[in-house]
Structure 1
Amino acid sequence: MKRITMIGDVGWSQFYHLGDEAMTELAIDELRARADIAITLIAGEPQHASEMYGVDAVRRIGFRRDRRPNTSRMKKILDYVAGDRNALKADDPAIDVVDAVRNSAAVLIAGGGNLNSMFAHHIYERATLAKIARALGKPYALTNQTLGPLIYDEDRDIVHDLLAEAEFVGTRESYTTQLVDDLGRGSATVRRQVDDAFSLTARDEDRSAVSDLTERPFILASFAEKASTPMFSDDEYHARLAELTRRLAEVTGLRVLLVPHGGALPPAPETRDQLNDPKIAQASGHAEVVPTRMLTARELIALTEQAQLVVGTRYHAAIFAGAAGIPSVSLAPNLYSSIRMRGAAENVGMEDYVLPLDSVDDIVSTAVGAVGNRDELTGRLSAQSQKRRAEHQQWWDFVVAKTLGDSPGAAETEAPGFFHAEAIDSPYVDAIGVVRERLNAVQNYGLVMALKDRKAARANEEVQAVKSQLQRLRAERDEARRRDERRESEPAVRAVRRVESTGRRTTEFARRAYRRLRAARR
């Protein structure tokens, strides 16, 4: 039995990020479906992840958002791999990761949007894992990636090396495919694919688990807890969501279920979306705007299958909707969400159903129109979904053949192509071209502000470095003074100082006597 080491942004007992868990869960399923394989998962809390997914698990290497200590830590880890056993302490979690890679046939870096300079610790985690694999002669690959949209100059080389030395890179939107080319793909095979969570399916027990939520027709809504944009405050963001959900409930007569994507499964205490959704519901002032409990990824898929419409700022809400053939309206309040939302929608032809959050009227109009035209939209989306799922299965055939090399001719296996979906027009918003330009403006504004913030952060780092240097020099000066004071207080030094003082007085007395003598002779 061969073993593969895989990293996913998963595995915390106190936090369940539904989309990240779905991507990793699908990757595990696809690997097991194609090979007799053992999996070692690099996760937040190994014991929790192991129990959740039935795999072996080790802790993450562990990096910070600061680049300087990350660079030093990466070097120490690679020194350890090269044979310097003193480079790491005996309890360093990186040692277990190195051992896992050494005992594996290949390394797989699962999705999704971690290769972003806003999350430098994730870049270093994955880049170091890749360098460990290369040092140990193990192939590695990346599936289901969004790259950027922010890659700062100081991160470009490390991201380039990560991509260029991979066996292959799966990208989940055209923006990422282009950015990989800009950074330099090297010898890596780069192919467009749908998000890995697209092919995760619900089971009968998942449908049963959400049956209490599907007794009446409903709209499924999922919102990130923050706007994450300088364009408007979180309070303004929440107010718009409250207005939107109220109007949807009023105009359609449907329940609006607020489903958290970032939260915690029982018995862990509620967090993030789980705390925010009740506030939105209360602010909406409508009894049919209802927050739900935290669901697993498969349970949410089961719920999505029964929805009249899916709406929200959460990326994987659109992924699950597209896969289930359910109309969706995706809202993009910031740069990061706009890139991902538009990519996900483009994959199933729904790009005109991605809207900025600055016009609730456009969102309500589109949502109401989509509900009224649900049957036609579902038919067209289901056909698109079947094509994407078929391509996705071919992609995973390629992934396993290329990384494990079990099948004859695996080395020559070609990555499947990706065919863009047929666009589904939106007649519900006037001047859809203007809407696209507004989305472009959201992206451009976000990019400019992010670069401005980074420039300010770099300047602040330089100021802090100068302050640290001044503090060090002051500390050295103060220590020198204390040493001098301690030395002056020693008995031998005091005796020497008395002799020196006596000598100075004697010399001065002699000089005065000489001057008096010369004066008397005149």
Structure 2
Amino acid sequence: MGTHRPRVLVLADVGSPSYHVGDEAVGQAAAARLAERGLTPVVVSNGQHLAADYEGLEVVTGPPLPLDRAELVGAHRAFAADPAAAERGRHGPAFEAIARNVGAVDAVLVAGGGNLASAFDWLLYQRIAHLLLAQRRGLPTAVSGQTLGPVLVDTDITELAPVMGAARTIGLRERRSSELGRRIQPHDVTADCLDDAQFFGPFGADEPGAGVLSAGGAPRTVVATVAPPGPHVHPGEQAERFARDLVALHERTGCRILLVPHKGRISGAGGEDEAVAEDIQRRARCPMIRVEPVTSARRAAEAVGEADLVITNRYHPVVFALARGVPVLPLVEDDYADARIDGVLDRWGLAGRGVPVRTLDEGEITAAALAVWEERGAYVAHIRASAPDLRAFHEQWWDALAARLAADAALAVPLPWLCRPRPLPAPPLLAGLRRRGLPALRLTGELAQLRAELLEERAENRLARHNDPNLT
């Protein structure tokens, strides 16, 4: 590369008003991996990032794309028809910022924060626009550690497929994403990888799971991260349920329970997961259950590493727990969550452990957590056997990705091959709870697809009427 350090624009959905631990971890991890390999990351922020998280890095901002789907798709189509006009502000401030940011770099990387799915179409089209403009300017582009779908409507596939095909690499972090990616773009551009933040944050000097094995017969500290429920459950009902189960777990084991929110407003409590955690704590009325406010992604990862057991319905606490050998009970709310959470477990040879939370009866969260704890010896041994190869793969992945993003790199730079560890069967209780809940879980996926298709049809009808006022 000589003395020139190629500048790489990194998109990871960081700097949102509500601090998102997982997205911030991905942004920081991706930037660090590129910098370690002689590239200069330029991180795209939504404007409210913590300066300490990106100290020493260049950060750029830009306004968001429209949230209304018809406005969003219409604006993107106008941009795609004449992207050069974005520099002159003809497509609005959001596309003008995209043109300005892409014009100041040598390559573009879409990292794992913010998924490529129709449910998050404003993020999907933001990423498509960056890739499209960079590719038309002849810049190298790549995607790493992404989830694709599982819900993608035809309109979105039509826009996404060409920029996928023109990228140097499309790295997907779950089996279902990889299968969908190969259907959308059959030629050899997609590849299996790990989450960008798989080995993010502080690690102790001990082997993974050393603290867990020294705990004795019962967990000393349990970290619980609970996201707000979907529309099918009242927030108070969810909080009451978790409060009862966590109190029961404390009474059974004597453990202390630390509620570690995954999303919240750094300036004060009350944002999203923090509000849920505080409600659980109030209802539990137990001094051994307390809340640790959101402070940083690194601290959230560190808290997981200090635990003996993790209970969560969020994705990245599972990622953090796996890398550190901490037993984890993954609770999945719907098919989208299952695609991601069971996907990361699959990368570690631990598929089939995500427990559908909608079909659990009273006390079954406690029972499932105890089943995970009883398996800790086999689990830690499995993680210790798997981690060296997965960590080596992750380093090789970033070596190859950095080379492919360098302006002078040949596309022949080979990508490493991800070999999954030999599977460790799930504890019988978890396997049974999963079997019982899978039909309901799959139904949520079918409903999500139908909803996305309905929104797509409505948006297309609105656009047609806008383009031809004679239509009724």
Q: TM-score normalised to the size of structure 2? A: 0.86
Structure 2's unaligned 5+ residue stretches are 205-214
Give CA-to-partner distance per residue, 1:384-405, whole Å, 9 cap, x none: 2222111101100111011115
1:485 counterpart residue number: none
Q: Say whether residues 1:319 and 2:319 are aligned partners.
A: yes
2:152 counterpart residue number: 151
Q: Say whether residues 1:128 and 2:129 are aligned partners.
A: yes
Q: Secondary structure at the match of 1:311?
A: strand
2:208 counterpart residue number: none
Give CA-to-partner distance per residue, 1:135-183, whole Å, 9 cap, x none: 1111110000111111012212112223222111111110000010121
Q: What's the CA shift for 1:129?
A: 0.6
Supply the distance in 1 between the matched residues of 2:332 and 2:326 (Cα, whole angstroms).
Answer: 19
Supply the distance in 2 between the matched residues of 1:78 and 1:456 (Cα, whole angstroms).
Answer: 24
1:425 counterpart residue number: 425
Alignment of 1:280-291 (within 5 A): 280-291=280-291
2:35 counterpart residue number: 32
Supply the distance in 2 between the matched residues of 1:138 and 1:468 (Cα, whole angstroms).
Answer: 35
Q: Secondary structure at the match of 1:307?
A: coil
Amino acid at match of 1:426: A
Amino acid at match of 1:141: A
Supply the distance in 1 between the matched residues of 2:45 and 2:429 (Cα, whole angstroms).
Answer: 44
Q: Say whether residues 1:10 and 2:14 are aligned partners.
A: yes
Supply the distance in 1 between the matched residues of 2:290 and 2:53 (Cα, whole angstroms).
Answer: 32
Supply the distance in 2 between the matched residues of 1:334 and 1:239 (Cα, whole angstroms).
Answer: 20
1:66 counterpart residue number: 68
Q: What's the CA shift for 1:462?
A: 8.3
Q: Which moved more, 1:318-327 or 1:237-246?
A: 237-246
RMSD: 3.1
Q: Assess, with a 3 A threshold, how the Cα gap between structure 1 residues 437 and 368 changes in structure 2: closer, same or farther.
A: closer
Question: Percent same amino acid at aligned positions?
Answer: 24
Partner residue of 1:449 out of 447, 450, 470: 447
Supply the distance in 1 between the matched residues of 2:8 and 2:441 (Cα, whole angstroms).
Answer: 37
Q: What's the CA shift for 1:426?
A: 3.1
Q: Would the aligned equivalents of 2:8 and 2:41 in 1 still touch at CA under 8 Å?
A: yes
1:480 counterpart residue number: none
Q: Assess, with a 3 A threshold, how the Cα gap between structure 1 residues 411 and 467 changes in structure 2: closer, same or farther.
A: closer
Amino acid at match of 2:54: M
Q: Secondary structure at the match of 1:82?
A: helix
Q: What's the CA shift for 1:304?
A: 1.7
Q: Would the aligned equivalents of 1:144 and 1:195 in 2 still touch at CA under 8 Å?
A: yes
Amino acid at match of 2:30: A
Q: Would the aligned equivalents of 2:264 and 2:270 in 1 still touch at CA under 8 Å?
A: yes
Structure 1's unaligned 5+ residue stretches are 205-214, 474-522
Supply the distance in 1 between the matched residues of 2:258 and 2:332 (Cα, whole angstroms).
Answer: 20
Supply the distance in 2 between the matched residues of 1:23 and 1:367 (Cα, whole angstroms).
Answer: 27
**RCO comparison, higher one (Cα < 8 Å, 6+):** 2
Q: Would the aligned equivalents of 2:226 and 2:261 in 1 still touch at CA under 8 Å?
A: yes
2:22 counterpart residue number: 19
Amino acid at match of 1:450: A
The alignment covers a number of residue pairs equal to 451
Alignment of 1:295-444 (within 5 A): 295-357=295-357, 358-360=359-361, 361-404=363-406, 410-429=410-429, 432=431, 434-444=432-442
Q: What's the CA shift for 1:429?
A: 0.8
Q: Assess, with a 3 A threshold, how the Cα gap between structure 1 residues 94 and 49 changes in structure 2: closer, same or farther.
A: farther
Give CA-to-partner distance per residue, 1:96-155, whole Å, 9 cap, x none: 432332332211001045211111111110101111011111111000011111101221
Q: Would the aligned equivalents of 2:70 and 2:463 in 1 still touch at CA under 8 Å?
A: no
- Higher gyration radius (CA): 1
Q: Would the aligned equivalents of 1:47 and 1:57 in 2 still touch at CA under 8 Å?
A: no
Q: Secondary structure at the match of 1:94?
A: helix
Q: Assess, with a 3 A threshold, how the Cα gap between structure 1 residues 464 and 92 changes in structure 2: closer, same or farther.
A: closer
Q: Assess, with a 3 A threshold, how the Cα gap between structure 1 residues 340 and 466 changes in structure 2: closer, same or farther.
A: closer
